[in-house]
């Protein structure tokens, strides 16, 4: 009876047991598959110690740009200037015959007979004082007979006057009388900006007032054409008319004054330059106090590249410093005994590692104050005291860019049919000539004259008169007094061509 009962119990539990066995087998197969795949996956990973990258959720740039634009735009003005331009009637570039030297000679020389016409130019500026003081570029207002300023949202023009300018940084301060307090921009610290920071350029490109463009800082400390120019480089769009406008950070602070672009076509090509606000503030403060920038100098010339050449420095017995090329005659360095080949390695307690260190230290020292110069001569360390003088006085020709100081004048030679002018060393260098080629510039050739017949042309530079060097009008007159009817006259000249300056001889025999 008990056996029969047991068989009945087993028969009732048979399906349950089978299901349990099947379930157990299924779990085993699944675990085996997972373990096998995991082991295979581990073997397939190329860089097991690398973390997988993740993609962040999309985010939009905030409305910071528009907020900054609304805050700064009321301080940015449009500047229109008018000036009377004098241009040589006979010297012309045409599309078929471009003259690569025209810009140089039209900028630095005034040939006759001239024609006069009115020229207009556009620019921008930023109000930095509620009383109407505006910071802009000097080239925007240079030689202007009339300067008109238009405030944002107004059709009225305000006549402006120049308070002062600094040619070496291309900055100027102008002032308008608006009859009320004006919104003024906040100046920022340009030393705080970093490459990659967002910036806005605001101005009037092509006369389109209140135009805002955005970009980033792409470089800091880019050297300019002038010694005291160090630019912030940006890819914010800058075009003609933006000059003098502000470059601002996302705090709405002016960290630069838009000054120039790099472009072969004269329009935006992705690279623009702004003068840092720290330089602009320093210049502005001096211009409103003195009307000009006062910088100290000891009166020396040097090649800044030498300071970066260890081999050259070692040959002088120096680890670092600036090698003096030459000294200004009668200047403070000359009076203190400094000369060509000396290596200045320290000024007071400031080490001089490069030319910028020397310029910054000396230029920021008040005029009239003395500094101690530590230098190396013939591999021996020496020192001397030098009195700081006004740089504008020591380097007046270079700073002003004037090709003809009053002492040089001009003179017409009726005998030869020439109008000549002394070409100083500074202007010769700017024209692509060496200092030794600073001779006599031919400003005019009388038609049908002896000079015309032997082929002399305006803009030729006379270096020799009958195999004797002539650099001054006095030397030329002395050679000319030696001439008699029938004398041979031979000039060695440098002539501007599309491929640069070319030396050639021109000569003939004076008629009896």
Active site residues: 139, 170, 243
b/e burial code for range 405-415 (CB count within 10 A of at least 16 → b): eeebeebebee
Query: For residues 464 and 306, what is the distance between their CA atoms, to the nearest angstrom?
Result: 33
* CB half-sphere exposure, 446, CA atoms < 13 A: 13
- Alpha helices of 123-203 — where are they, by DSSP H? 138-141
Name the DSSP class of 21.
H
What gap in Å lies between CA 500 and CA 497, rounded to an integer? 5
> SS3 string of 286-324?
HHHHHCCCCCEECCEEECCCHHHCHHHHHHCCCCCCEEE
User: Measured at the alpha carbon of residue 270, what is the angle toward residues 269 and 275, in degrees to the nearest 5?
Assistant: 110
DSSP conformational letter for 239: -
Name residues whose C-beta falls within 8 Å of residue 251's C-beta, 6 or more positions apart in sequence. Answer: 68, 188
> Which helix (H) or strand (E) element contains residue 233?
strand 230-234
């Amino acid at each position: 009876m008990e056996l029969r009962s047991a068989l009945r119990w087993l028969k009732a539990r048979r399906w349950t047991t089978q299901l349990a066995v099947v379930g157990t087998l299924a779990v085993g197969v699944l675990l085996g598959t997972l373990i096998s795949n995991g082991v295979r996956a581990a073997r397939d990973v190329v860089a097991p110690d690398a973390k997988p990258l993740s993609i962040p959720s999309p985010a939009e740039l905030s409305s910071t740009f528009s907020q900054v634009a609304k805050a700064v735009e009321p301080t940015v003005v449009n500047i229109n200037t008018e000036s009377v331009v004098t241009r040589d009637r006979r010297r012309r570039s045409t599309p078929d015959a471009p003259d690569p030297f025209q810009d140089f000679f039209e900028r630095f020389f005034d040939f006759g007979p001239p024609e006069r016409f009115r020229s207009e130019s556009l620019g921008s500026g930023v109000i930095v004082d509620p009383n109407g003081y505006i910071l802009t570029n000097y080239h925007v207002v240079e030689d202007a007979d009339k300067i008109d300023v238009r405030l944002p949202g107004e059709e009225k023009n305000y006549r402006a006057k120049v308070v002062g300018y600094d040619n070496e940084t291309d900055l100027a301060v102008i002032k308008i009388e608006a009859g009320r307090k004006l919104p003024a921009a906040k100046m920022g610290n340009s030393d705080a900006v970093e490459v990659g920071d967002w910036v806005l350029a605001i101005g009037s490109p092509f006369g389109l007032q209140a135009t805002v463009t955005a970009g980033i800082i792409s470089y800091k400390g880019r050297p300019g054409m002038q010694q005291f120019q160090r630019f912030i480089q940006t890819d914010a769009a800058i075009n003609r008319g933006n000059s003098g406008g502000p470059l601002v950070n996302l705090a709405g602070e002016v960290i630069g004054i838009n000054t120039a672009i790099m472009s072969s076509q004269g329009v935006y090509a992705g690279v623009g330059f702004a003068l840092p606000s720290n330089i602009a503030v320093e210049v502005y403060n001096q211009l409103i106090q003195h009307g000009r920038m006062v910088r100290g100098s000891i009166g020396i010339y040097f090649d800044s590249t030498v300071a970066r050449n260890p081999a050259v420095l070692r040959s002088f017995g120096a680890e670092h410093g600036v090698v003096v090329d030459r000294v200004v005659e009668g200047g403070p360095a000359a009076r203190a005994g400094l000369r060509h080949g000396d290596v200045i390695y320290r000024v007071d307690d400031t080490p001089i590692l490069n030319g910028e260190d020397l310029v910054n230290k000396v230029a920021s020292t008040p005029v009239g104050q003395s500094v101690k110069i530590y230098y190396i001569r013939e591999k021996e360390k020496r020192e001397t005291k030098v009195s700081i003088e006004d740089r504008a006085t020591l380097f007046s020709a270079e700073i002003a860019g004037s090709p003809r100081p009053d002492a040089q004048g001009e003179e017409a030679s009726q005998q030869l049919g020439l109008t000549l002018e002394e070409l100083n060393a500074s202007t010769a260098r700017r024209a692509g000539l060496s200092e030794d080629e600073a001779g006599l510039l031919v400003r005019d050739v009388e038609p049908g004259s002896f000079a015309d017949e032997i082929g002399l042309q305006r803009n030729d530079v006379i270096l020799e008169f009958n195999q004797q060097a002539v650099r001054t009008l006095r030397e030329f007159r002395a050679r000319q007094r030696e001439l008699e009817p029938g004398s041979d006259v031979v000039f060695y000249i440098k002539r501007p061509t599309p491929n640069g300056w070319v030396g050639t001889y021109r000569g003939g025999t004076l008629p009896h």
